[in-house]
Structure formats: C-alpha cells, structure tokens
Amino acid sequence: MTHKKYCLKVGNKYTNEDVYKLADQVGNINVITDDVTLGKDFTIIPVDDSLPTVWNKMRLFDTDQFPDEGIFFDLDIRILKDITNIFSPLEYMALLQTDWENLEELKRITIGNLYGYCSINSSVMVWNKKTKRQHVWNQFQKDKAKALRLFDGIDKYLEHRHFKNLSFFETGLVGSYRCNPDADVYIMSYDGEGKEWL
C-alpha cells in the first residue's frame, strides 16, 4: 500500500499519546494539527483556522492540498489485522457505512428531522490518484458558511449533501466497538467509546 497516512489532532479531545499509539500501529503518519510539539516526530500539516476541529477532514477532498493517494484514520481506531491490501480502488472517497446500526429504525425515528439521519462514518477514509473528490471540496467551499451552521460534523454534511459522491468500504473491513466489540474486522472504530485499550 503506497498510501500516505494521515490523522487529525486538533483541540483537547485527544492527546499526543493517542497520535503515538496510532503511529505504532500504522507506521509513519502525517498529522493535521494545531500542536507544533508533534513536529519533532511527525510531519505536521497546520490546521485551517477557518475550519472548526473535525471540519479539517473536509480538506482531504482537495487534490491541491492532498495530491497523493492517502488513507485517513481517526485517533480512536485500532488496527486488528494486516490492512496492506484490503482497500481496493474506489471511484469516490471511500468511507464507512454504519451497517452496525439499525438504519431502518434510525430512518423511522428521524422522519421529519431534516439532518437527523446519518449512515456515514468518516473514521477511516481512503482515496487514490483516480478518486473523484475535488468536486466535493469545491461544493463545500460554496456551502461552507451554511454547513458549519447546520451540521454538527462532516458525517452528516456528507450524508445529506454528497451521498452520491461517496464510495463505501465492503462490509466487514471496519467495525464499531460500541455496537459489536467482538466483530472479526480489520479495523475497529471506537467512536469515542471503549478507549481503555489506548
């Protein structure tokens, strides 16, 4: 796998130690961060101050800022098996579809709630040279002011504004610790929970 690896550490939700633990699992990693102290051990990419915390992930859609093929990991994921060859090329930016949730029930309880439904998780994102992603970034530039007001994070923004411009990993590659801690998957997403393993 020739993908460059990226993570995001902005604000206080995660510590520098979380970055080191992710690097132990995936190897050399580029850190999008506001913390210059990480610069002694990692290549750091300064945050875009116009984008609050997690919204910096949207920059991964910009081929000017991120021209190489890459893979992004949230800081609360854990690699459980060798991931070298699991990500086949996909037409659009590849994200997780939260098939561990009861999406039918979620759809039912969010009827009438414009941005309540979300079946997308951006804990792991993969793109390659041919991935079509620039148009999402361009649209985000137009939507930005409204998107930051209306959505509490990029997952819901992508779900409601770009669903047709996304690809999704096969079922079974990535799992949710919260929903199925024993799932036989390559990568486990802790989604802010079960951090005792860290």
Partner 1 sequence: MAITTTMNKMPIPFWKYSSWLQRLEIDMPYRVGDFIQSFSENQVYAKSWLIERLMMHPFVNKKEKDIWILGSWYGTILVPLLMSKFSDIFRIHLVDFDEETLSIAERLWYTKTPFGNLIQTHCMDINFDFEQLKGDLIINTSCEHMLPMNEFDCKGLCAFQSNNFRKEIAHINCVDSLEEFIEQTGIQDIYYSGEIPFHTYDDHHKRYMVIGER
Instruction: Note the residues at the interface with partner 1 (CB under 8 A).
Output: 104, 107-108, 111-116, 143, 146, 149-150, 160-161
Burial of 144-169, coded b for 16+ CB within 10 Å and e otherwise, reads eeebeeebeebbbbbbbbbeebbbbb
Amino acid at 181: P
Nearest approach in angstroms of CB 52 to partner 1 is 17
Nearer to partner 1, 3 or 160 (CB): 160
Minimal distance, residue 178 CB to partner 1, in Å: 20
Pairing of strands 120-127, 70-73: antiparallel
Cβ 60 vs Cβ 6: under 8 Å:
yes
The tokens for 113 are: 């709630």
Identity of residue 25 = Q
Pick between residue 40 and residue 142 the one whose CB is nearest to partner 1: 142
- Minimal distance, residue 114 CB to partner 1, in Å: 6
CA neighbor of 117 nearest in space, from 126, 127, 107, 108: 107
Q: How far is the CB of 160 from partner 1 (least distance, A)?
A: 7
Pick 104 or 182: Cβ nearer partner 1: 104
Question: CB-wise, 132 or 160, nearer to partner 1?
Answer: 160
Residue 64 or 104: which CB sits closer to partner 1?
104
CB of 33 to partner 1, least distance (A): 31
Q: Are 96 and 168 in contact (CB under 8 A)?
A: yes
Burial 98-112 (b: 16+ CB within 10 A, else e): bbbeeeeeeeeeeee
Shortest gap between Cβ of 29 and partner 1 (angstroms)? 34
Nearer to partner 1, 117 or 186 (CB): 117
Pick left, alpha or beta for residue 92 (phi over 0 → left; psi -120 to 50 → alpha; otherwise beta): beta
